[in-house]
Each structure stands twice: as structure tokens, then as C-alpha cells.
Chains A and B, each alone.
Chain A
Amino acid sequence: MMQSISEAGRYPVAIQDLTVAYHRKPVLWDIDLHTPEGELIGIIGPNGAGKSTLIKAALDLVPRISGRVLIYGKPYREQRHRVGYVPQREHIDWDFPIHALDVVLMGRYGRIGWFRPVTRAHRRIALEALDRVGMADYAGRQISQLSGGQQQRVFLARALAQDADIYFLDEPLAGVDAATTRVIVDLLRDLRTRGKTLVVIHHDLQSVPQMFDHVVLLNMRVVASGPMTDVFTPENLVKTYGGKLTILDQAAQAIASGE
């Protein structure tokens, strides 16, 4: 057992025998997963496959029935400073009276700690994060005044301000404009070159080959996990999606154009 922990310590995220259920209905079943370090990892699967739940389980946001998740060999609660999370946009109250910069500053709260004020240094880091997503000019805007894509970028900046080693992103490209897509994809690649590990839930099969180094195909179980070129194959996609032809057509095109 000790050995398996030190073994797991090499991986940014090591998931062992994970099972999660909502109201006794299993959502994730016996997941074993080891993600490589410093890569862009795509989590791909149909609706209801448990993609978001997988990330939430890794962050201790949902209870597990069995199994464990280790972040660089330790439980999440000991490693939370090393993990950044960008949740889906719909979970946020966009009418809250708060500026973009204040939202980004929240990414620093974990490091600031209890009873301590937000210092100028934290503000500078938050502004830099906004600048990296092309939103520095919007620092003083209330979040309800931003477009969907801009809101997404603010939350990405918040994760950046956390200065983590591993980032979990839940459909960061869902429903955003072309400019935001470009900014986010560039940023993800930039983070990868700095050695960060990025776990991204992604729904658009066509763009998978250009975006990801490593792919996890998920449908309640892990159908396949490995380097994109090995794993992202028509046979595996049939296993993941069943017989949904339109999706498979898209994927076939994507694979063909990737070759």
C-alpha cells in the first residue's frame, strides 16, 4: 500500500477504484485513472457520462462511495493550493454586485488566509491574470455587464490567480464567442508549456485532435485513456457514445482531418 502511494505521487491526478452515486444511482463506476504531467488532457463523453462529477469528486465536492483521489500523491485537502477549478458558468449569480477584479481576487483568498487583508501585491497578481485573458480593460465592470465569453475569461483569470499546478476546467469553451475561444485555447497551451497539467471537459469532438495531448473517454466507466492518437479512434468512440451516428460522423471527419 505504501508503495502505491509513492507511485501515485508521480502523477498530478491519480484516481483509484472511484465510485460515485447520486441517490443510489451510480454515476461513476470503478474509475482508475492516472493523468500525465504537463499535458492538456481532454475528458470526452456523452451527456450524463459523469464528466463533471469526475472533476467534482477529485475536488471533494461530491461524496464518494469508494475509492480515492490523490493530487501529487496526497489527498485534495492537503493540496488545495496546487489545484485551480473553473466551474460551469450557469452556477454563478451574475447579478451579484461585484467587479471582475474582485472575482479574480477571490482566487487569491486561499493564499491570503483568515483575518488578513487583501494587499496590493494580490491586486497586482489579479490584474495580471485579467490581462492574460485580455480582460484588463474590464477590471472595473460589474460581472453582469460582461458577455458570456468575457465572464468565462474572468473565471479563467480567477483560476490563474490561484497560481496552481493542476487546473480543472468544466466545458470552458461551451457557448463562448470565437475571440474567447482563441484566448482560452492559447492560454491553455501557454500553461502547458509552463509545465501545468490541464484537465478539460470538452464536448466538441471535431476539435479534440488539435487541442489535446491525452484523451480520457468516459461513460460511467473509463472506456479508454491514453495519448490522443492512440485513444481517439472510431472504435473507441463507438464504445463511448454507442450508436449515435451524427456524433460519430463528426468524429470520423475530425480523425480524418487530423491524419
Chain B
Amino acid sequence: MIEILIEPLHYPFMIRGFLAAIMVGVVCGIVGTFVVLRGMAFFGDALAHAVLPGVAAGYLVAGGVRSVLFWWALGTAVLVSMAIGAVSRAARIKEDTAIGIIFVGMFALGIAMISATRNYAVDLIHFLFGDVLGVSWSDLSLILVFGGMILGVIFILFKELVILSFDQTLAQTLRLPTKRLYYTLLILIATTVVISMQTVGVALMLSMLITPPATAYLLARRLPVMILWAAVLGAVSGVIGLYMSFYFGIASGAAIVLVCTAFFVVVLMIKQLRAIGVIGKSFPRAPDSE
């Protein structure tokens, strides 16, 4: 049993993969908690897909050098999140329509650009579904630095972000800068999408952002507890997913997402069975429940 767990650690690329998956799982879980509570799942999905042309542009400009892609993705993500915020405010169309237009348009542009390269199929699959086993030490350090920054901002602005999510009216009567806080949250989500891109890819990104927090929502009755659960579930799903990928030869991004989804389904079923009295009330228990 122990050998099964240790075996993958003999490979440096697996160790880097584990570290990336854990860090991304934690950051996605924490940022995703706000995404879930504010009902911004569609925005998160759109943002992830809309990053693609930025990545493609970086790829073409740098002639296939991958180390610069992070910065291209980050620039695009921040730009797109601001654009979505502005378009839905300015144009007289509903926000989800505005997001949909930008999202698919950008995604198509990205595919068109990548299709012009020679390695079309391989590159596209990496961008879409992630390549966590190809994470280099310099990728990892970027993930650590930016992930740390995201967590730092959330820690500092925690009270304000909670008020903004729970009670917009109170935020206004306290005269918090609600617009600036909202855009700060958009940038946090954008940065999270970028650091997670290599782990799960743009097409699977949304799951990392919302599934562990949704599971946590079922387990917790207080926000700090929900955040803790989301972070733990995100990290654990990343690790289990990588083991599955290693032993069963499944694509790593898909494996991680499947584990996240399995956790959600299991917790949901236990809650349902508990609600109709099949399972005793004591299981599972959130740490904060009375």
C-alpha cells in the first residue's frame, strides 16, 4: 500500500505535478467559494475560455516558447474580466448574454489562432485540458507566488468581501467601495484561472473553481468552515486525481475533475439519505455543527 503511494514520488515531474495540483486546489477552493456564493459560475467558465486567444498569441509571438505564456494569459484574463464587467454595465443586454458573446467569440479566436500552427492538435489539447505533468520549476514558482498573492488579498479584504457577497445593501450603507471591490474579486478570479490553466486546462477549469466549494457548501454552515473544506477538497482531489492518472493512464486534468465531482456526488447522496433518515444524523458532521 505504502509503495503504491510512494512509487510516483520517484519521478520529479510527478512531485512538481503534486505540488502544482495542491496549490491550485487550495487557491481554487478559496476563490471559488466566493464564485459559488455570488453565483458567478458562468463568469468563471467564460473567463477561463476567453484566456485562450491570449495564450495562443503568446505562443505564436514567442515561437513556441512556453515560459512566457503565463504572462500572456494573465494579461488577457485581467483584460477580459474588465471587459465583461464593462459590457454588461454599458450595453443594454443581460449580463449572461454579454458574457456568452465575449466568451465564445474569444474562444473561437483562440482556436483559430492555434490552428495556424503546426503542432495544432497537441498544443490545443494541452491548453484545453491541462498538462500538469509538464509543469516546470519556474511554472511552479509562478503558481506559488501568484497563488500566495491571491490568498493574501483575500485574507486582507476578507470582511469586506463577505459583506459584498452577503449583503450588498449593508456594503453600500457602510460606504464600502463596492465597485472597486467587485473588480478586485474579478481580478482574483482571473489570476486564479491563469495559475490553474496548466493543471486542468481552460475547458475543465470551471470544475476546480466551483465543485469543491459546492461540496463544501453542503458540509459547512459558516463561511470560514466552508472555505477550509473547499481548500482541502480541492487539494485532496488534485492529489488523488494525479495518482489515478499515474496508475490508470488517464489524462491528469480529467482525473482531477472526476475526483472533485465524485466527492460532490457522494456528499450529496449522504446528505439526501440522511434527510430521509436512512443514515444516522451523526454522519457526516461538519466541524461547526451542533
Contacts and interface: CB of A to CB of B under 8 A. Distances in A.
Interface of A: 59-61, 77, 80, 83, 85, 87, 91-93, 96-99, 102-103, 106, 109-110, 112, 114-115, 118, 140, 142
B220 interface: yes
B173 A98 contact: no
B239 interface: no
A106 B172 contact: no
Interface in B168-198: 169-170, 172-175
A114 B160 contact: yes
B175 A99 contact: no
7 contacts: A61-B172, A80-B174, A97-B226, A98-B162, A106-B162, A106-B167, A109-B159
B223 interface: yes
B230 to A, nearest CB: 11
Given A96-B37, A110-B174, A114-B160, A142 B169 contact: no
Contacts of B165: 96
A109 B221 contact: no
B223 A102 contact: yes
A97 B160 CA distance: 16
B149 to A, nearest CB: 16
Chain B interface extent, by class: 20 to 34
A52 to B, nearest CB: 11
Given A92-B167, A96-B166, A112 B222 contact: no
A102 B8 CA distance: 44
Given A80-B173, A106-B170, A142 B222 contact: yes
B290 interface: yes
Interface string B203-222: 00000000000000100111
B173 A99 contact: no
B167 A85 contact: no
Contacts of A102: 222-223
Interface string B145-172: 0000000000010011011011101101
B240 interface: no
Contacts of A80: 173-175
Given A80-B174, A93-B166, A106-B166, 17 more contacts: A60-B172, A61-B169, A61-B172, A77-B175, A85-B173, A91-B167, A92-B167, A96-B37, A97-B37, A97-B222, A97-B226, A98-B166, A102-B222, A106-B170, A118-B159, A140-B290, A142-B221
Among A60, A85, A92, A97, find the residue whose CB has the most chain B CB atoms closer than 10 A. A97
Contacts of A97: 37, 217, 220-223, 225-226
A106 B226 CA distance: 18
Nearest to A87: B169
Given A97-B217, A98-B166, A106-B170, A115 B156 contact: yes
Contacts of A87: 169
Among A60, A98, A99, A114, find the residue whose CB has the most chain B CB atoms closer than 10 A. A98
Nearest to B225: A97
A112 B159 contact: yes
A60 B223 CA distance: 29
B64 to A, nearest CB: 44
Nearest to A95: B217
Contacts of B166: 92-93, 96, 98, 103, 106
Contacts of B162: 98, 106
A142 B159 CA distance: 18
A102 B170 CA distance: 14
B156 A106 contact: no
5 nearest A-B residue pairs (beta carbon):
A142-B221, A110-B174, A97-B226, A96-B166, A97-B223
Nearest to A115: B156
A106 B160 CA distance: 10
Contacts of A91: 167, 169
A82 to B, nearest CB: 12
Nearest to B159: A109
A110 B159 CA distance: 10
B159 A59 contact: no
B2 to A, nearest CB: 37
Nearest to A116: B159
A103 to B, nearest CB: 8
Nearest to A111: B174
A60 B162 CA distance: 21
B6 to A, nearest CB: 38
Contacts of A83: 173
Interface string B254-290: 0000000000000000000000000000000000101
